[in-house]
A and B are shown apart, each in its own frame.
Chain A
Amino acid sequence: MKPAAAISDEYISAMADGHLDSSELGTALNSFNADEQRMRTWHAYHVVGDVLRSAELAPLGSDFDFLEKLEKRLSLEPANWSTANGVLSQGHSLIRARVGKSSANAPVLRWKLVSGLACTALVGTLAIGQWNRFDSAANQHLSTLAPVAVQPTTPVQLGDANSQAMIRDPVLDSLLAAHHQLGGHSALQRPSGFLRNATYEGTSR
């Protein structure tokens, strides 16, 4: 960045047109404090532009006298919008965003929060849906499960491949077939409304 005093009035001209990049702009703005003649240059350039657009805009009096009066009044004005009292509004941050100087990613953070909430809601919805599906599938499976005639077989699976598999013991099956009075749903490890358990006591007792 060039020193403020060293820049040419060409910077002021480009600044008046909004065609300085950020580093040049900072230098140009600082040059107004370093050299008061820059204010006259800035003023003259704008008078030229105004008059070219409309002869009515030629200054009728001293613009600097007007400015001097205004600056005296402004010096008495408290800067109510200063950051010190926390009043600086949203407008300032919007301007910062527009001029491309916003380093804080406040809008990004806001969208992160929104997307986070959306993801949480989506996961919750899917989880509830899955739970309901699982629950209804299990109920359906259980309701269609009739008491099965036990046959001595090799280990078999009950129900379809997707449902819960039960490994049957052929020895137990044959025992239960021989002693129906001891058998029941509970012996098959299935819910039974009237028989919760089955035991066998041998002669050794």
Chain B
Amino acid sequence: MKEDFPQSTHASDLVLVERTLGGDQRAYSLLVLKYQRRIQRLIGRMVRDVDLVEDIAQETFIRAYRALHQFRGDSQFYTWLYRIAVNTAKKFLLELKRDPTVSGSFMASEEEDETSWQKSEPRSDETPETVLAAKEIAAVVNAAMDELADDLKEAIVLREIEGLSYEEISLAMDCPIGTVRSRIFRAREAISARIKPLLDKQTSKRW
């Protein structure tokens, strides 16, 4: 499994888990918003059915919520969540295999996981509209990155792509940590200001 999340997010995940266990359900929602795309992508590589992907992702987060007290913090929260998602998807697939009324055409190979996904195969939750919307978001993010001032661009790249901590970025860019924090924030603000209208369009009801 590829661990491409910056390491220092582990600390904030632990705090969110602790807050959830303390009764703050909003903290769990923050974890869901953070990881649901990766979980849905993972499940989408194992299951070819559009509706099943979301059902399994929902079930994954429900199971994780029920078992949250067992999360010891030894591993990254996503690693723990990943195992739950894989097991949940396998259980769904097993039940589907037992059902003689369904064919296996929407099931991926059991050996496939997040790293073995073949790019040529369409993802189960892809429709022309959603693919177009996703591509538009990706294009806007890249365009916004190109427009950033060099110091902001460097800071956000070192953080999000290289996964460096603020201390490491501070050394690399030869500036105080407060400046690093400010540059990363300004970069995020500039990019998210461009994508928020697109994200709002995707949201039908609540926000």
Contacts and interface: CB of A to CB of B under 8 A. Distances in A.
Interface of A: 8-10, 13-20, 25, 29, 32-33, 36, 39-71, 73-75, 77, 79-82, 87-92, 94-96, 98-99, 101
B185 A13 contact: yes
A17 B14 CA distance: 13
Contacts of B202: 59, 61-63
B160 A53 contact: yes
Nearest to A11: B185
B60 to A, nearest CB: 10
B6 interface: yes
Nearest to B6: A17
B91 interface: no
B141 interface: yes
Given A13-B181, A58-B134, A80-B66, A51 B141 contact: yes
B98 interface: no
Interface of B: 4, 6, 8-19, 21, 23-30, 32-34, 36-38, 40-41, 54, 57-58, 61-62, 65-66, 68-73, 123, 125-126, 130-131, 133-135, 137-138, 141, 145, 156-157, 159-161, 165-166, 181-182, 184-185, 188-189, 191-192, 195-196, 199, 202-207
15 contacts: A9-B185, A14-B181, A18-B9, A47-B137, A51-B137, A55-B135, A60-B125, A60-B133, A61-B125, A61-B130, A63-B37, A66-B36, A66-B58, A70-B61, A91-B70
B40 to A, nearest CB: 8
B165 to A, nearest CB: 8
Contacts of A98: 14, 73
A75 to B, nearest CB: 8
B184 A13 contact: yes
Contacts of B182: 10
B68 A42 contact: no
Contact of A57 (B10, B19, B41): B41
Contacts of A77: 62, 65-66
Contacts, number: 215
A94 B72 CA distance: 6
A16 B72 contact: no
B36 A52 contact: no
Contacts of B157: 52
A184 B196 CA distance: 113
A19 B205 contact: no
A98 B74 CA distance: 9
B137 A58 contact: yes
B66 to A, nearest CB: 6
A42 B10 contact: no
Contacts of B9: 16-18
Contacts of A53: 4, 160-161
Contacts of B134: 55, 58-60
A32 B26 contact: yes
A19 B8 contact: yes
A50 B141 CA distance: 10
A191 to B, nearest CB: 68
A48 B181 contact: no
Which has the most chain B C-beta neighbours within 10 Å: A29, A33, A41? A29
A63 B206 CA distance: 11
CB-CB nearest 7 A-B residue pairs: A81-B69, A44-B192, A58-B134, A18-B8, A13-B185, A60-B130, A55-B138
Given A66-B58, A99-B14, A52 B70 contact: no
Contacts of A91: 69-73
A71 B30 CA distance: 11
A51 B130 CA distance: 15
B192 A45 contact: yes
